[in-house]
Every structure is written in C-alpha cells, then in structure tokens.
C-alpha cells in the first residue's frame, strides 16, 4: 500500500513513496496506491452509472457498438467479442479514450485509437462522468509516473518530457458475469493471461474480487482494498528499464456468483514516441535487443521491439478484435 499524496505535494516524503514504488516494481510489478486524490463521489457516480448502462438490453447497448466507432476504436462490445490469447473473454465492455475532435492532428492524419467517443443516451450524465474520470486519472498517471522516474534515479519529469507529454490514454469499463460454477466445466476467464502494453495501468474495482497476478511463478489473488487503486506496469516500462521493472502477467476470473465491474485506465506513451531502453543511473548499460521471449506468456520479446508506441499497440490490439480490425483498419 503506497501513499502517493507526497508525490503530489513535492514534500520530502516523496522519496520514500518513490522507493516503495520501485521496490514493488522489482518484486511483482503490481502495487496499491492510496490517498490518490480522486473524488470518491466521482468514483461512486461512475460505478452507479456504469451498472445502469450494462443493465439495459443488448439491442440498446449495441446502439453504440464498436463497429460505429471507426478508427477511434470506441464503443460497446458484447460478451465473447474480445479475445485474449485467441480465446473469447467472459466479459462485456465499453471502450473510451481522450475526446478529440476532427481538428486534432492525429485524427486528421487517420491515426487509430484517436477521435471521438461513443456515449450512450442512458444513463443521463454518463458522458460528463466518463470525461471527468479520464481527466482525473490522467492527472494521477502523471503523478505516479513522476514517482516511477524518481524510483529509477531519474529526474521526476523524465517520462513526462520524453514519453508522456501527450500520453495515449485509454479507458475501459468491463462487466464480468459470474463464471460457471460447475467443477466439471473448463475454466472461463473474464480475461485470460496477459500483460499490459504501455507503461502504467490504474485500476478501480468494485467490491468484487477476481483479479489474479502471477508473481514468482505462482498465481495470487489481488484482493479489493476500499479506497485504493491497483497499479501495474506494462511492456514498454519493461522495455525502457531493460527488464529491471517487469510487466507482470495477470488474469481475471469472476468466481463470486455475482456481476463484477472493473475500470482499467491505461496511461501510455504518446502515439509517435519511439520506445527505447534508457540508461539508468548506477546500472550497467542495457543489453541491446535482449531476447526475453522464453520467459514471456506470449512467447514474444519486449526487448527486441523497435519502433513507436503506436506501432506496438496496434500490433497487439489487432489481435484482440480481429474482425473489427479487418473492418475498420
């Protein structure tokens, strides 16, 4: 449990907070943050309105289906439409991102994952709630990334100046129905084993557990902690730190017997940022193009990747929705 309030204030205690973040990233790649400064009323409203959206009939929800979002890759998908490792996930969800109009340079250039959101007619006010949440989590993302920079012995603005001045921010709202309870049934994963693509994920959960993290070769449950967000690092921070901070495999299985809501927010490098290994103070130079595929869940190396973050994330996303990828991209 890491108190990130000192990272906001610039107090001397921010060094201790940064050290705790660094230790967590070396140990497991997952940690909880508290005193994050996000309005609890906004949290409750987001959860209540999201639950109201998913309670509608499928036909109504499909009015904002992802096929209508085009290259911006926004909108609703039903249970089974998203794949992880080639298998359908047991969840339905909404894809949101930074709200960008047609004048934005990346939208004008036709960059995928950029553009306008698709918002439902019901519940009333959901658009405003979602955009307020994206703004609050973007601000928190900058705060935590400052702590990550300090934990590596870098200037607090290292990532902001080089990678996240204009971050790619993606927000998901997932509803997981209960997994089949029959002991004879094959496991149905809400989300199968995977790592996240970018640098930082900030996760709000409702009161229902289901997240599991693979640490030191064993799967462990990540309990829900009221008032805390789960943070984990992604593939690009693994790449930048030469494997010092590892992107950790995780998965979801909802065994609670009731529906589970989850709100992952992805704070990632800018679309055109070229991601490279960085020279860390006091550390040996990173091994160029170190191949880590034998230890990766997907058999693909993070450290041999060369290019922009946009290129990396699109190679991944195209596997999650292959039919949509062929249709709109």
**What is residue 30's predicted lDDT score, i.e. its pLDDT?**
94
**What is residue 176's predicted lDDT score, i.e. its pLDDT?**
96
pLDDT band at 321 (very low <50, low <70, confident <90, very high): confident
**What is residue 202's predicted lDDT score, i.e. its pLDDT?**
98
Residue with more model confidence, 294 or 310:
310
Assess contact for 189 and 222: CB atoms under 8 A. no
Over residues 206-230, the pLDDT tens digits come to 999 999 999 888 899 999 999 999 9
For residue 135, what are the CA distances in angstroms to 39, 95, 308? 12, 16, 24
Residue with more model confidence, 209 or 86:
209
**What is residue 96's predicted lDDT score, i.e. its pLDDT?**
98
**What is residue 97's predicted lDDT score, i.e. its pLDDT?**
97
Q: What is the mean pLDDT of residues 242-264?
A: 93
Average pLDDT, the chain: 89
**What is residue 204's predicted lDDT score, i.e. its pLDDT?**
97
Q: What is the mean pLDDT of residues 140-145?
A: 97
Over residues 258-269, the pLDDT tens digits come to 999 999 999 999
Secondary structure letter of residue 308 according to DSSP: B
Query: How far is the C-alpha of 172 from the C-alpha of 157, rounded, in Å?
Result: 27
**What is residue 297's predicted lDDT score, i.e. its pLDDT?**
46
E strand or H helix at 60, and its extent? helix 58-61
**What is residue 80's predicted lDDT score, i.e. its pLDDT?**
85
Query: Which residues fall within 8 angstroms of residue 14, CB to CB, at 6 or more apart?
Result: 6, 7, 147, 150
Residue 32 three-state SS: strand
Alpha carbon 323 to its chain's center: 22
Residue 203 has pLDDT above 90, yes or no: yes
Short-list 25, 283, 19, CA closest to 147: 19
Over residues 34-46, the pLDDT tens digits come to 999 999 999 999 9
Over residues 149-177, the pLDDT tens digits come to 999 999 999 999 999 999 999 999 999 99
Q: What is the mean pLDDT of residues 16-21?
A: 95
β-strand 191-194 against 200-205: which pairing, if any?
A: unpaired
pLDDT band at 22 (very low <50, low <70, confident <90, very high): very high
**What is residue 325's predicted lDDT score, i.e. its pLDDT?**
64
Residue 291 has pLDDT above 60, yes or no: no
Angle at 211 between CA 176 and CA 116, to 5 degrees: 55
pLDDT band at 323 (very low <50, low <70, confident <90, very high): low
Question: Model-level pTM?
Answer: 0.92
pLDDT band at 86 (very low <50, low <70, confident <90, very high): confident
Least confident of 16-20, 82-86, 158-162, 200-204: 82-86
Domains and CATH numbers, the chain: 2-328 (2.60.120.330)
């Amino acid at each position: 449990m890491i108190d990130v309030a000192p990272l906001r204030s610039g107090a001397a205690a921010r060094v201790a907070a940064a050290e705790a973040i660094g230790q967590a990233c070396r140990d497991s790649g997952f940690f909880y943050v508290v005193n994050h400064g996000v309005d609890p009323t906004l949290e409750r409203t987001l959860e209540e309105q999201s639950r109201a959206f998913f309670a509608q009939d499928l036909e109504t929800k499909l009015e904002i289906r992802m096929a209508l979002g085009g290259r911006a890759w926004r909108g609703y998908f039903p249970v089974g439409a998203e794949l992880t490792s080639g298998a359908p996930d047991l969840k339905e969800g909404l894809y949101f991102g930074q709200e960008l109009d047609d004048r934005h340079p990346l939208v004008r250039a036709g960059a995928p994952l950029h553009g306008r959101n698709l918002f439902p007619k019901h519940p009333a006010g959901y658009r405003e709630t979602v955009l307020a949440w994206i703004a609050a989590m973007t601000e928190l993302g900058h705060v935590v990334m400052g702590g990550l920079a300090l934990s590596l012995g870098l200037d607090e603005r290292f990532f902001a100046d080089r990678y996240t001045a204009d971050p790619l921010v993606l927000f998901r709202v997932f509803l997981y129905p209960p997994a089949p309870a029959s002991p004879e049934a094959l496991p149905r994963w809400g989300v199968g084993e995977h790592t996240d693509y970018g640098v930082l994920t900030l996760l709000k959960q409702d009161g229902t557990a289901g997240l599991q993290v693979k640490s030191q070769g064993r799967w462990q449950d990540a309990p829900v902690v009221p008032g805390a967000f789960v943070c984990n690092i992604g593939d690009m921070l693994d790449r930048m730190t030469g494997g010092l901070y590892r992107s950790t495999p995780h998965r979801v299985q909802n065994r609670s017997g009731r529906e589970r809501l989850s709100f992952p927010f992805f704070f990632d490098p800018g679309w055109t940022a070229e991601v490279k290994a960085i020279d860390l103070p006091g550390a040996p130079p990173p091994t160029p193009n170190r191949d880590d595929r034998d230890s990766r869940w997907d058999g693909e190396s993070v450290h041999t990747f060369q290019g922009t973050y946009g290129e990396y994330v699109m190679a991944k996303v195209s596997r999650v929705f292959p039919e949509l990828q062929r249709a709109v991209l």
